[in-house]
Amino acid sequence: MNYWPSEERKMNDYQLSPGRKLKTSDSGLKYNNRKEDMNGQEEGVEFLPTMNAKKVEKRGPKRWVVVTAVLIVFLLVSLLVGLLVWHFKYRRAPVQKVYNGHLVILNLNFIDAYENSSTTEFALLSKKVKQTIKEMYKNNQDIGPYHKETVITAFSEGSVIAYYWSEFIVPAYRAKALDKAMADEQSLIQTVKYKSRNPVLQVNSIVAFPADPSIIQSSRGNSCSFALHAEEGEITSFTTPGFPNSPYPNNAHCTWVLRADVDSIISLTFKTFDVELCSEGSDIIRVYNSLSPVEPHELVNLCGSYPPSYNLTFLSSQNVMLVTLITNAEGRNPGFKAEFFQLPKPKTCSKTLKGESGTFTTPFYPAHYPPDMDCVWNIEVPSTKNVKVHFNVFYILEPGIPVSSCTKDYVEISNTKYCGERSQFVVASNTSKITVRFHSDQSHTDTGFLAKFLSYDSSDPCPGKFTCNTGRCIDKVMRCDGWVDCTDASDERSCNCTKEQFRCNNGWCKPRFWLCDGVNDCGDNSDELQCKCPDKHFKCSNGKCIPETQKCDSKDDCGDGSDEGTCSKVVKSVSCKDYTYKCHNSLCLSKTNPECDGTKDCDDNSDEESCDCGIRSYSKQTRIVGGQDSEEGEWPWQVSLHVKSQGHVCGASLISNKWLVSAAHCFQEESQIRYSDPTLWTAFLGLHDQSDRTNKMVQERSIKRIITNPQFNDFTYDYDIAVLELQSPVKFTATVRPICLPDATHDFPAGKEIWVTGWGATSEGGIGATILQKAAIRVINQTMCNTLLTDQITSRMICVGILTGGIDACQGDSGGPLVSVESNNRLFLAGVVSWGDGCARRNKPGVYTRVSKLRDWIKQHTSL
């Protein structure tokens, strides 16, 4: 009695499962049948005396046979239905396939009319090409039956190259065979050569690549397509629709066909470039070394925004180029302005180079080298000497190609291939000759390389210096000093540690004062192991050990707050302490640096308010090529403070449209000049080049008020901070934007990379820079810094530098920003350039005013 009703429920459940539509009528019938069956069975089962074995034997098997038969029939029917569905719905389901391709016509000469798709010549030739392609497809059983349409999009020289796309509707199960047949250039050509008895067109080469079907819609209703031909000796420019006054359209597909005269190549430069930020499905611009938008001929794909100084120059290998813009439904960006011109096709890029030294580069450096190039440099120095090649800049990067294989673009020396992005390196030969080869394939080009060749004496490759295994020469004092100076660390191998050094477990020698400083200097952490706290204890930043259970318990057990500052779980409403972030509603959080991190941590959202700061206008930054020049707009909060008749004297940082932060010591009276007088000063914002202060990106302001911190001590430089009010507010632009101020509890941990910028001296005692300079340096542990700088460090100071020396702020950088990239790529003002023991000396980091410690003072005077 319980058996069937429960089975009936099961069947009903089954009917409501995802296969419902198919099974309804079928199982509906069964339901009725079963009901009748059920009645019968109910009778039998319910009233059959269980002990009556005979009756069970007699009636049982018959019923089971029926049930089994019904089940089998049901299963078979379901299987059949399933198979039919699979076959018709999935296997035979039609799929749309589109291929982009081009073919070469040998027996025709190019005429100008072929450039314009509205001429009769274009129409006539298109018709012939279409016929040829159709015939070619017809003769191939994997292609012919599925061909729907072919459209000829363009022609170019050589004899005549025809560009086209073909559309197919193919059952899913035949799609792979179609792909294969379309990729088989040889068999396609054979079909036109032999199957067509009297071919009108002699087709020599044909290639086709799968494409995105959306190109069909765009080419059908395409109102955004442009054809441009370079004029001899002239620069032609073009822009995205509406540029610069309105954003380019959404859901658009635009193409620019660029042409040059035969035997010329094209140089294309994006002068301004600002499209939607890069992400999956974002707006994208592609440049092709062909008139066919196919991946194997793509030179570059670009999104985001680039500063004007970024080198966005690309070269073609022939006299055509194609630029496409595909946009999605969102975004309001201005787009681009581009320029192109033609130049003679270079005959060769190979050279023989002779002499003691010289330089050579990839073709058109620093523009992106052209695709499809092979250059050979045969270098020869005087026969008594050996030769080495020093690569100062090396960018030969192809997306997705591992540097271990270098299968696409590469430099080859003595059977070794080099590719990717590499820092400076040297390749030496033990003869007077060396051969450098460069190869670029059809797709994706990069900046290339800048190299120098030098002769050297084999018995003494680095006179008076140490020779790294890479061939680089470094000062002898750098050998075994604990700092890695050779890129392969060969200067720090096989060393005997001195008394001032300790030996790491991995054999390196490191200065003793680096022991237990919280930084893994050895690489295997052995310099930090001996000073560990006992098991189940937490090590505070001040070195104290506390039981792990006291960490994040809302009590300052360390005494410096470090056990409560870095709690992964945000504990809201902890009791407020010096180290806890205070929301506007006076509740406190246990999270480190919660301000403007993109997460609402305070219930009143106050941690995410006032966050229009610390974001650059340009999403892309140039890779540092050689020096340390900044990009325009890279540090839009940087201010240059000029004193009448002296020019640039100090730096400052913009924190709102009318307030600047700088160093108090810039405004102290000196040699009878009253630097505290605001009328003496002028602020330049959006400045990049000191010799170009009239540039339209620059905003010049007088100073209304200078407020120096009353606790500033001009002997110790403690409290070295000042705020300056501008006479009139500035306008925020691509090159003028404020930096974020860190909360009083904001932590900049030791070892963190930070940037310092300024026009200060480029060497100790040297002269100031014309172009804004930048340098990446690291936060130094406070206790260690106090030891290095003989007890001169107060809690209002933060030491930042590179202890090997060589990178530092210097005179003229004072008052300028020290900025840290925090979560969401937002930049915060960690410090103000203050003082140092000289500039860039070993073990003498620069000292900066710790802005977080003076946050309340800034607020008191600026209300920010």
Q: Which of the residues are catalytic?
A: 665, 720, 814
Give residue 456's identity as a one-letter amino acid code: Y
Q: Calculate the CA dihedral of residues 556, 558, 560, 564 and round it to 10 degrees.
A: -50
Neighbours of 707 (CB within 10 A): 19
Please give the Cα distance from 498 to 596 (Å, whole number): 47
Quick one: which segment of 236-244, 483-491, 590-598, 834-842 binds ligand 4AZ (CB under 6 A)? 834-842
Take residue 667 and report the two structure tokens written for it: 């405004």
Verify binding: residue 640, ligand 4AZ, rule CB under 6 A.
no
Among 833, 851, 854, 858, indicate the residue that binds ligand 4AZ (CB under 6 A). 833
Please give the Cα distance from 183 to 140 (Å, whole number): 12
Nearer Cβ to ligand 4AZ (370/801): 801
Please give the Cα distance from 438 to 479 (Å, whole number): 34
The site string for ligand 4AZ over 597-626 (x = CB under 6 A, - otherwise) reads ------------------------------
Nearer Cβ to ligand 4AZ (448/815): 815
Tell me the CA distances in angstroms from 11 to 16, 27, 29, 78, 80, one per residue in order. 9, 8, 12, 14, 19
Q: Is 479 exposed, middle or buried (0-12, 13-18, 19+ CB in 10 A)?
A: middle
Neighbours of 679 (CB within 10 A): 11
Verify binding: residue 846, ligand 4AZ, rule CB under 6 A.
yes
Nearer Cβ to ligand 4AZ (467/814): 814
Neighbours of 327 (CB within 10 A): 24
Query: Whole-number minimum distance, CB 473 to ligand 4AZ, in Å?
Result: 27
Query: Whole-number minimum distance, CB 663 to ligand 4AZ, in Å?
Result: 8
Query: Whole-number minimum distance, CB 835 to ligand 4AZ, in Å?
Result: 6
Verify binding: residue 323, ligand 4AZ, rule CB under 6 A.
no
Query: Whole-number minimum distance, CB 708 to ligand 4AZ, in Å?
Result: 16
Query: Whole-number minimum distance, CB 427 to ligand 4AZ, in Å?
Result: 36
Nearer Cβ to ligand 4AZ (565/846): 846
Helix/strand/coil percent split, the chain, to 5: 20, 30, 45
Q: Is 325 exposed, middle or buried (0-12, 13-18, 19+ CB in 10 A)?
A: buried
Query: Whole-number minimum distance, CB 763 to ligand 4AZ, in Å?
Result: 11
Tell me the CA distances in angstroms from 478 to 62, 321, 474, 764, one per residue in order. 97, 51, 7, 20
Q: How many residues sit in the footprint of ligand 4AZ (CB under 6 A)? A: 11
Nearer Cβ to ligand 4AZ (240/849): 849
Quick one: which segment of 90-98, 261-269, 633-641, 829-837 binds ligand 4AZ (CB under 6 A)? 829-837
Would you say 687 and 772 are in contact if contact means Cβ atoms under 8 Å apart?
yes
Query: Whole-number minimum distance, CB 829 to ligand 4AZ, in Å?
Result: 16
The site string for ligand 4AZ over 425-444 (x = CB under 6 A, - otherwise) reads --------------------
Please give the Cα distance from 334 to 239 (Å, whole number): 10
In eight-state DSSP terms, residue 30 is H
Q: Is 540 exposed, middle or buried (0-12, 13-18, 19+ CB in 10 A)?
A: buried
Nearer Cβ to ligand 4AZ (618/712): 712
CA-CA-CA-CA torsion sign (600, 601, 606, 609): negative
In eight-state DSSP terms, residue 231 is P
Which H or E run contains 258?
strand 253-259
Report the phi/psi class of residue 638: left, alpha or beta, with left for phi > 0 and alpha for psi in -120 to 50. Answer: beta
Which residue bears the tokens 């339901």?
31
Query: Whole-number minimum distance, CB 811 to ligand 4AZ, in Å?
Result: 4
Verify binding: residue 831, ligand 4AZ, rule CB under 6 A.
no
Take residue 778 and report the two structure tokens written for it: 């690291």
Distance of CA 293 to the CA centre of its chain: 23
Q: CA 639, 643, 645: angle at the middle one, nearest 5?
A: 135
List binders of ligand 4AZ among 796-815 (CB under 6 A).
808-811, 813-814
Is the preceding peptide bond at 678 cis, omega within 30 degrees of 0? no
Query: Whole-number minimum distance, CB 665 to ligand 4AZ, in Å?
Result: 8
Phi, psi of 558, rounded to the nearest 5 degrees:
-75, -30
Verify binding: residue 835, ligand 4AZ, rule CB under 6 A.
yes
Q: Which of 258, 255, 272 is nearest to 336 (CA)?
A: 272
Among 839, 851, 854, 858, indicate the residue that binds ligand 4AZ (CB under 6 A). 839
Cβ-proximal residue to ligand 4AZ, closest one: 836
Give residue 306's identity as a one-letter amino acid code: Y
Query: Whole-number minimum distance, CB 751 to ligand 4AZ, in Å?
Result: 19
Query: Whole-number minimum distance, CB 730 to ligand 4AZ, in Å?
Result: 25
* Residues near ligand 4AZ, by CB under 6 A: 808-811, 813-814, 833, 835-836, 839, 846
